[in-house]
Amino acid sequence: MIPISPGRSRRATLAGAVCALLVAGTGLTGCSEDPNEGTNGVGRLPADQIQTKAQKAAASVGTVRLHGSVQAGGRSYDLDMRLKPQGGIGSVSTEGETFRLLRVGQELYLKADAAFWGKGGDGKGDSKAADKLASKYVKVPKGDPSYTKFIGFTDKNVLLGGLLTLHGKLSTDGHHEQDGTRTVRVTGDDGAGGTLDVSLEGKPYPLRLVRAGEAGTLTFSSWGADFPLEKPAKGDTLDYGKQLPTS
């Protein structure tokens, strides 16, 4: 059975009424709604081709907003990032702490409050360092473990390249809607390998991903919508040195 959203049901009801009006008195037996009528046509394709078209559409445009949760390295991260080739900006939350990430080119900055910086690896922390770093865009040294750990969250190609592939046997799972946009859903191993909702309107962009193994759910929006990206003001920036405090 194909799941139908409330919005889709309203359209189906209206289409049915128009159809009944058109065939009344003509001797015809009636008509049925084509769920792919007026779409970009990817809903008629096999599941593997839909996934490929979504991957190509995502790669063809420079900017996107990514929002949701991912499991990585034994932790759960909540992300709200805007990404483009030159870098990215947004917020990351994990284990009750939230911080902002900003990357311009290869320069990565992290901004958090004193409580974040004050949680040292020895459980005591460094309150003096925490107060100094609080609410500043702290430049993350390339040799610091945090640089490697967090720069991937600001890289569109790294994030999407590893996310937009479902696992197992692919199949389609009906027509749906994501924030008012009609989609076709592709699943891997009947959902165990993840699900991907692909837009049926305009370019076949991926709009929603449920990762395999309950490893998070992400939504994608603002495809192709540019946003400002620049280094923080000098007065808001702090270069701590070769390595950040342990926290």
Q: What residue type is 21 in one-letter code?
A: L
H/E run at residue 163: helix 156-163
Cα atoms found within 13 Å of the Cα of residue 234, Cβ hemisphere only:
0
pLDDT tens digits, 165-188: 999 999 999 999 999 999 999 999
pLDDT of 225 > 50? The answer is yes
Bridge partners (DSSP) of residue 90 are: 81, 101
Rounded distance between C-alpha atoms, residue 245 and residue 247, angstroms:
6
Rounded distance between C-alpha atoms, residue 49 and residue 89, angstroms:
32
- Residue 12 near residue 3 (C-beta atoms within 8 A): no
- Rounded to two decimals, the pTM is 0.80
Cα torsion through 65, 197, 161, 224, rounded to 10: -40
pLDDT of 6 > 80? The answer is no
pLDDT of 246 > 70? The answer is no
CA distances from 141 to 107, 147, 210, 238, 239 (A): 8, 7, 33, 11, 8
Q: What's the pLDDT score for residue 238?
A: 87
pLDDT category at 68 given cuts 50, 70, 90 is very high
Q: What's the pLDDT score for residue 32?
A: 54
Rounded distance between C-alpha atoms, residue 242 and residue 38, angstroms:
56
